[in-house]
């Protein structure tokens, strides 16, 4: 079965009634956990982005506190998992400011992990890639936000 294009779906959804749209959304939410999480964000959390960011940051901090730090192997696996979760929450929001704040928090947590990430090339690579990603995103923001986030990022790197 070939999937319809976004344009075709949009046209079909515009022609649907409200009850049909509600039924489609509910049916979508039954199939994947991510669909349900996205609907939850859109319905309940999108109106208060700051509290959403705080919740995501708390979850990231909690996940970092649960990392098995016996070997770098377990640290790398856990860090990749946390980054994957972070990127998922960033995708839900779609806002650049949210992305910057979540990634800065991720990098701060990664930097504070013991044993230090400077002793492992892979973890240092993950950290550097996220810092570069943050810099690229900051360059697209408003000048005032650029200044604030650049200062925050510079204090993180010191």
pLDDT digits (tens, 9 = 90+) for 57-82: 999 999 999 999 899 999 999 999 99
Contact 99, 49 (CB under 8 A): no
3-class DSSP assignment, residue 129? helix
Position 114 scores a pLDDT of 87
Sequence-distant (6+) residues with CB within 8 A of 72 are 115, 119, 120, 122, 123
pLDDT digits (tens, 9 = 90+) for 8-38: 888 888 888 899 888 888 888 888 888 888 8
pLDDT digits (tens, 9 = 90+) for 84-129: 999 999 999 989 999 999 999 999 999 999 888 888 999 999 999 9
pTM: 0.86
DSSP at 4: P
How far is it, in rounded angstroms, from Cα 66 to Cα 125?
22
How far is it, in rounded angstroms, from Cα 46 to Cα 43?
7
Burial class (CB in 10 A: 0-12, 13-18, 19+), 133: middle
pLDDT digits (tens, 9 = 90+) for 123-158: 999 999 999 999 999 999 999 989 999 999 888 876
Mean pLDDT check: name the lowest of 43-47, 54-58, 84-88: 43-47
Share of the chain above pLDDT 70, in %: 99
Q: How far is CA 53 from CA 11, 46, 61, 113, in A?
A: 33, 10, 12, 21
């Amino acid at each position: 079965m070939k999937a319809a294009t976004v344009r075709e779906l949009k046209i079909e959804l515009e022609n649907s009634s409200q009850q049909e749209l509600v039924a489609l959304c509910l049916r979508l939410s039954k199939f994947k956990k991510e669909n349900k999480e996205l609907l939850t964000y859109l319905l309940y959390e999108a109106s208060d982005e700051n509290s959403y960011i705080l919740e995501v940051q708390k979850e990231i901090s909690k996940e970092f506190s649960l990392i098995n730090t016996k070997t770098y192997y377990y640290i790398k696996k856990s860090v990749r998992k946390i980054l994957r979760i972070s990127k998922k929450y960033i995708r839900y929001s779609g806002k650049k400011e949210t992305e910057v704040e979540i990634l800065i928090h991720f990098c701060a947590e990664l930097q504070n992990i013991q044993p230090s990430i400077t002793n492992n090339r892979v973890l240092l690579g993950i950290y550097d890639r996220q810092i570069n990603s943050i810099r690229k995103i900051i360059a697209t923001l408003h000048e005032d936000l650029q200044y604030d986030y650049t200062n925050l990022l510079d204090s993180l790197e010191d």
